[in-house]
Amino acid sequence: MIVLPAVDLREGRCVQLVGGDYAKEAVRLEDPLAVARDWWRRGFGWLHVVDLDAATGRGSNTDLVTELLREAARHGASVQVGGGVRSLERIETLLDDGAARVVVGTRALEDADFLREAAEAFPGQLVVAADVRERQVVTRGWDTTLARDVLDVIEALGEHPLAGVLVTAVHKEGQMQGPDLRLMEAVAEACVWPVFASGGVGGIGDLRALAETGVAGCVVGMALYTDALAPQAALDLMEETA
């Protein structure tokens, strides 16, 4: 299982939100490029970058995302990028700029034709983000709840040539009180693509428990930024579970 440090972008800064609530910003670091370099220096080969402003319609960190991708190329690192990606043109631009995988969420889940076209145009390069609150899928920066159970969504994704599926337990996000293990186990069992888990990790024990559910990777934010999870412990676990 791989661990991907989260670099969430808001107003040009690297932040961590509690429960996805913009009023509950627990971490704010002024230089996201320096943050990314530090994760690479420590030994992480992958980063998960999200433009929160684009995802919620509050703005854009496009130039910063481009800088991060260029910096990753110089370090020989890989980045998956998401947040407000709702067009084929944006997907193509991100891949051309060096993204290893592009994360699509809202439009991919709300527009089946778009997802089909995107997956066919960029096979094996897209990760579909299924953000979940109590088994219901949410979109548009977690503001809209779809009347669809996550397992029904996962089943439908099997027909597309994806790189993976990212499942975020929104009800656990940023709280470090443990992931939704039953959710992740059910998704990993149902999904034909690699599953990346997110939400709730509070320490190395949570990562070990997630590895046992069968997920391929885990995006970790708050626990790494608050030192609840030692980076070296996460790196060691990746070697153990490779």
Q: What is the pLDDT of residues 58-88, one digit of tens each?
A: 999 999 999 999 999 999 999 999 999 999 9
The pLDDT of residue 111: 93
Residue type, 9: L
**pLDDT one-digit tens code per residue, 90-111:** 999 999 999 999 999 889 988 9
Other beta carbons less than 10 A from residue 161's beta carbon: 12
Tell me which architecture the domain covering 2-241 has in CATH: Alpha-Beta Barrel (3.20)
**Catalytic pick from 8, 51, 53, 180?**
8
Determine the Cα–Cα distance for residues 70 and 97; give it in Å rounded to an integer: 7
Catalytic option among 51, 53, 97, 131? 131
Q: Look up 143 and say whether it is catalytic.
A: no
Query: Which sequence spans correspond to the domains of the chain?
Result: 2-241
Please confirm, yes or no, whether 8 is among the known catalytic residues: yes
